[in-house]
Structures are given as structure tokens and as C-alpha cells.
Structure 1
């Protein structure tokens, strides 16, 4: 039996929206659901009543009927696909789940247009999302739409997310992320370490925040990598550790790499208790949250945990390591990023080198 229900929802900007859900139950179980959101309750009621009448007359649509499939239905297939959503990284999975809760997910695939994509980006921008963040929405939505025909056999080949991109760029709603060059300055790092020591001293705390912070800097690893390295991946003779599946935009899996544990990084590892297969058996999110809370309590502005990776690379440059040598620690496949770090540290390095060569000629 078909039915409809209406839920009142409030957007981030305070405006009210009405989500109408239409469904069909058989034997006490749902066999079909769809929903759409409206600005007025009366419009939601009208659509709900009309769809119930259609379902009672025509029956439940087939799974691949594009005329009755919403963007959200395709999103769910993609997310639940072990070869697609199942292999998505944390950022992509977060964005896909977020899109499911946005108005655009309720638009029928057959109706989806560039104007819907632009409106979604406007709403996200109005809620405080920056151009680089909204750019992720558009990129991942485009990937999902492109999968409809070749992967799921859905008769849908349009891609309004891709079509909207030039307009969104001109409107300033999407754009590239700004390259960060933030490092701890003055006594920020000392204050953070003291604050993290105090946090680790709490009776309920089990995370060695200071060791992990120092190891993150010295090894130039991402916090997700730090919390995944295993005792069995330590090579004692060369003092290296195998970091599995390092982040690479061109390859999602199999990016294993031996990373040298220089100086105190090796000592930090050796003093960790062997209570688990993991060297740092802690949730990376919990480590980041602990760092953020101490940072905020200290009033330190705009310093992210990931900035410690840049701090580590900068220290290696300052110690005299070459770009190629630093890449062996950081895992950068392209040296362009490290070259930018180097030139920001030593903007006059080429002038000094040129002057030195000139003196030798004389």
C-alpha cells in the first residue's frame, strides 16, 4: 500500500523546507521509497498525493527506471558498491554521505540540470563552505553521474555536474584550494607540547599525544599513516618502516614505501609498549581532536595537524637535505610540492649560489 508523509526541515540559513516521502509497503516491509523537498507544505502535499495515486495505478517502478530514479538513489548505489564507494577515501566518503542529505539528492535524474548543480553550490556557499570544498561536491557528484550507464546499466548519460563547472568557476563558487605554508611559530610548539602533556596526564587518557606529535613531525607522516604502521613492518638494520598505501592522487592502493626513521623518530618507536600489532594503536581522529582542543584552548589560530608534515619537511631542508632526499621521507611522487616548500624557505638561495659561482670564476 502506498503512502506519503511530510517532514519539516530547517536549512542553515533559517528557511523552512518540507520533505515529502512516498513509499510502498508489502508484508510490513518497505519495497519502495522516494522523496522530494518543497518550499511550501501545500506543494509537498500535492506532490505526495499525486505520487501515491500513480503508484497505486502503475505499480512500483523497476530499479533502473531513470524516470523515477532520484540522484540520491544513484548515490546510494555508488556508496554501497564495494568497488567504488567501498574504496573511497575518508574525504570522498564524507562528501558522498553529505550529498545524500542535500536537496539535490531528491531531484530526479531525468530532471537534473546545471541549474540544480549551481543552486546546490550556492546553498553550500551560503552555509559557509569555501570554493575548494564545494569543488569536491561537484567532482564527486560528477563521478557518480558518470557511473550510471556503464556500471549500473541505467539509461542516463548526461552529466550536469561537468557541464556546470565552467559557470561555477566564473561565478567563484568553486576553485582550487589555497596552498598552505603554515608552520608553528615562536613558542607555539612548546605550548602545544605542554598542553598535550597535561591532556595525556588525565586518568582517562591512553593516547601518548606528545610522542605522536613529535613522531609526526620527524617522520613527515600523515596522522592516518602514523596510526596504521605495524611492528612487523619495522626493519631494524636500516631503521626504516614500511608505510602501506601512502596517499597518491594517481593510485589509490599498493603505494607501499619504506620510510627512514631519522633521529629521535626511531627512539620514539622503540619506547612504545608492544600491546598491539600497531605501533600507535589509536584512532587517528581521536588524536586530531585532542590536538585541536589543546590548540583552541591555547588560542593558537589556523594551525592544523597536517601542518606538522610541512614542519617536518622544512626541518629536513634546514638540516641540509636535498629535495630528492626529503621526498624519500615525505613520500611525494612529484617534487614540485617540495620545491615550493624549499623556495619559500630560501627565496634568495639561487642568488647566493650564483654569487658564489661568480666569485669562483674570479
Structure 2
């Protein structure tokens, strides 16, 4: 059964993401495509459902052209070296987005750019997602013969960087000295004592130092 999701782009325009999901005898297949007009999305769903209803079509697609989520899964399972908690979490998150349902051979730079546009967070955080996704594109074809085109990923990163979707983290040329930290903490502790309703910046500073998180990440944090 097909579905259409309306999304608002950062420039204010609307996009219509059509999704086809078919389950037959334990075999599942997902496919998505984005359109600028709802009628075009509706027509595509009808045509794809008709094609997938043909005998053997679903089985052939899953064997010859698995979705991106399968490449993510195999990378996570088969990588010998420790990929780290951050990368593992990023890959798990990517797998929850519609792009992960797309067959590998169908993913174009515009699909990747659209995925990056809808990610929350600062351009530096989005760049982290792009970097980890690029690692999947780099090895999928030579390692598993999955038809992910590394050129599409590189093109997407180039465009995303040019239009400001991703950017490098701000460079820091030095760390605060212990004396500077002492003075900062003393200042904010004194302010907190004089004005209890003030932000507990002394705690924020210590949290930032030991968590190594960016300012934007800290301001989005929630207490569990």
C-alpha cells in the first residue's frame, strides 16, 4: 500500500515523498521517491505497485538490488575494527530515514542532499552524518557488489558544502588555562549565589569540558 508524506523544505517549498511498501510471503520491499507535485507522486505509486505485483519481481529486486539499510547492516556486522559508539549511533539513525529504504542503485545525489536537509542540528553535526554515510558508499560496491554509486555521494557532499548544509567544525587555536578556568568558575559560582535564578554556568562549563560536546549539542540536551 502506497503513502505520500508532505514535507516542508528549508526554502519554504513543499515536497511529496511517495512510498511503496510490499510484503509477500515473508519478503519485504520498500521504495521511495520525492516529487514536487502530489499528482506525480500518486501516479508513481500506482505504476510501481503494478510493476511489483508481477510474478517474481519482488524477489528479484531484493536479491539483485538490496536497500541502503542492508548495506548499513552489513557494514556494522562485518567491520572488524571497532566503529565506535558515535558512528554506530549515526548509522542506526540513518537507517530510520526513508533513504534507507531505497534500493542501492536508485540513490542519487539529490536523494542524499534531501536527506541531509531534513536532519536536525548544526551544519557541523550534519557533516558528521554525511561522513559516516560516505563510508558506506565507499565500500559497498567492492565489498558486497551492492550498486551504491560513490560518485553520487561525493557530488552530494560537494553541493551540501557549497550551499551550507554541511560545514567543518569551528577551529580552536588553544585551550583555556587552569587559571582561566578557575576564574571563570569562581565568577559564575559567585553570580549563582547572588542570583539563584541565573543559569548555572559553572556546571555547564564543567559538562562541556568533560563531555566534549559542541555548544549546539549542549543547548539541545534534555535531562533523562
Indicate the TM-score class for this superposition, using the shorter chain for normalisation. Answer: 0.5 to 0.7
Q: Provide, for residues 209-248 of structure 1, a one-character-per-residue CA deviation record: whole Å limited to 9, x for no partner.
A: xxxxxxxxxxxxxxxxxxxxxxxxxxxxxxxxxxxxxxxx
Closer/same/farther in 2, CA of residues 99 and 156 from structure 1, 3 Å limit: closer
Name stretches of at least 5 consecutive residues in structure 1 with no aligned partner.
Answer: 195-295, 311-362
RMSD: 3.8
SS at match of 2:166: coil
Q: Match for residue 228 of structure 1?
A: none
Q: Provide, for residues 323-343 of structure 1, a one-character-per-residue CA deviation record: whole Å limited to 9, x for no partner.
A: xxxxxxxxxxxxxxxxxxxxx
Closer/same/farther in 2, CA of residues 175 and 46 from structure 1, 3 Å limit: same
Q: Match for residue 100 of structure 1?
A: 95
Distance in structure 1 (CA, Å) of the matches to 2:16 and 2:198? 37
Closer/same/farther in 2, CA of residues 304 and 72 from structure 1, 3 Å limit: farther
Cα distance, 1:61 vs. partner? 2.0
Distance in structure 1 (CA, Å) of the matches to 2:170 and 2:161? 15
- Aligned partner of 1:35 among 9, 31, 36: 31
Cα distance, 1:53 vs. partner? 2.1
Q: Match for residue 154 of structure 2?
A: 162
Distance in structure 1 (CA, Å) of the matches to 2:6 and 2:133? 23
- Aligned partner of 1:53 among 39, 45, 50: 50
Q: Match for residue 82 of structure 2?
A: 87
Distance in structure 2 (CA, Å) of the matches to 1:109 and 1:179? 35
Distance in structure 2 (CA, Å) of the matches to 1:78 and 1:173? 26
Q: Provide, for residues 339-361 of structure 1, a one-character-per-residue CA deviation record: whole Å limited to 9, x for no partner.
A: xxxxxxxxxxxxxxxxxxxxxxx
- Aligned partner of 1:76 among 64, 73, 77: 73
Q: Which has the larger share of helix? A: 2
Cα distance, 1:99 vs. partner? 1.9
Name stretches of at least 5 consecutive residues in structure 2 with no aligned partner.
Answer: 213-224
Cα distance, 1:82 vs. partner? 4.3
Matched residues, number: 194
Q: Provide, for residues 174-200 of structure 1, a one-character-per-residue CA deviation record: whole Å limited to 9, x for no partner.
A: 222124546571436758xx9xxxxxx
Closer/same/farther in 2, CA of residues 166 and 187 from structure 1, 3 Å limit: same
Cα distance, 1:11 vs. partner? 6.0
